[in-house]
Amino acid sequence: MPIFGMPNGSMLLSKRGFFFAQKTSGGMTTMKRTFALILALALMLALAACTPAETTPTAEPTLEPTPAPTAEPTPEPTPEATPEAAVLTDMLGREVALPAEVKTIVSLAASNTEILYAIGAGEMLVGRDAYSNYPEATADIAVVGDFNGPNIEAIVSAEPDVVLASYLQDDVLNQLTELGIAVFCTEASDYEGIYTSIELIGAICGKAEEAAALCAGMRESIGKVQAAAATEAQPTVYYVMSFGEYGEWSGGPGSFINAAIELAGGIPITKDMGEVWVNPSIEQIVALDPDIILLSSLYTIEDLSAANGYADMRAVKEGHVYLVNPDWVERPAPRIAEAVAEFSEIFAEFLSLNQAA
């Protein structure tokens, strides 16, 4: 820092400050000391000015690592569950695995075919037996043999998911099972079995609700007929499935044919013969001498009257032989309700004529 000398022994220190030098008797010595002190002070100030001020280091901010946003997991499409194959018990007590999907069916009995159409599953039918003739739509379905001789090759060629068979077709059941085809016995032999059959076919086709509704409707209509018949006398009745050279065949105890007669207010003469399907001798039939003979319309009354033994029966002599539709009577299917209604009308007519006489 420059120092300028001033007159009268005084000293002026720049424009930033000033000091006084006193004249004393010590004169020059005192001034030297004073000058040395000033110089030392100036040097100290200069050094201080040149030394950088210590600064308190500012703490660097610690950056917390920002966690990467968690990606929302993209839901994987849930694969459709493969439906487990249901196992159903058929009319023979066999446990059969039902395919996961049933789209095509072959029916080997006319009753099964009628049930399929009655519950709205007729479009699934891809093969039928030759006797399946109802409803008319069956005419467009391929025939795979008749009831007594189904054609295994034709059945396999139809590629059915399921085959519906009769309890009278053991060989076919076994052969188709060995070929890996799901085959169910769905034909009934007794009256209550008809309802079981309908429900079973409904379960197989995915038409359980429709099957239940059909059963309820049948029970209701038959119940009304039964209630009305309960107040009337009960005629004895014989139903002729066949006669003469074909053998005397009819329904026996526990058969749906006998049940239809009983529900309509009659008493079947075969009720104590011991078998579901009976083949009585003509002598037995003549001895029981029924009030009414119900004859399959496949035959004529004239033919029956001319057959051995029948001309001796009271029903033939008195004109109480009635033709009935065998498809209603001999098939364990929904139209059994129509058979019961028709029987009831016949019995009522007979009773009316007897009362008039």
What pLDDT score does 13 carry? 36
Quickly state the pLDDT bin for 5 (edges 50, 70, 90): very low
**pLDDT digit string, tens, across residues 71-92:** 555 556 555 555 566 999 999 9
Three-state SS across 125-143? EEEECCCCCCCHHHHHCCE
Range with the poorest average pLDDT among 26-30, 155-159, 261-265? 26-30
Place of tokens 């007159």: 7
Instruction: Reduce the DSSP state of residue 106 to 3 states and report it.
Output: strand
**pLDDT digit string, tens, across residues 233-277:** 999 999 999 999 999 999 999 999 999 999 999 999 999 998 899
DSSP 8-state symbol, 70: P
What pLDDT score does 37 carry? 47
**pLDDT digit string, tens, across residues 169-206:** 999 999 999 999 999 999 999 999 999 999 999 999 99
CATH of 231-356, one of 3.40.50.300, 2.60.40.10, 3.30.450.20, 3.40.50.1980: 3.40.50.1980
| CATH class assigned to 87-218 | alpha beta
The domain locations on the chain are 87-218, 231-356
Helices (H), the chain: 27-50, 110-118, 152-157, 170-178, 191-205, 208-229, 256-263, 282-288, 301-306, 314-318, 326-329, 336-356
**pLDDT digit string, tens, across residues 100-111:** 999 999 999 999
Closest listed residue to residue 15, CA positions, set 27, 23, 24, 4: 4
Distance (Å, whole) CA 258 – CA 340? 10
What pLDDT score does 193 carry? 98
What pLDDT score does 113 carry? 99
Q: CB of 237 within 8 A of CB of 267?
A: yes
| Residue 79: both structure tokens together | 């694969």
Place of tokens 């998911």: 161
How many CB atoms lie under 10 A from the CB of residue 216? 11
The pairing of strands 125-128 and 250-251 is: unpaired
37 or 177, which is more confident? 177
| Residue 133: both structure tokens together | 């003739």
**pLDDT digit string, tens, across residues 289-345:** 999 999 999 999 999 999 999 999 999 999 999 999 999 999 999 999 999 999 999
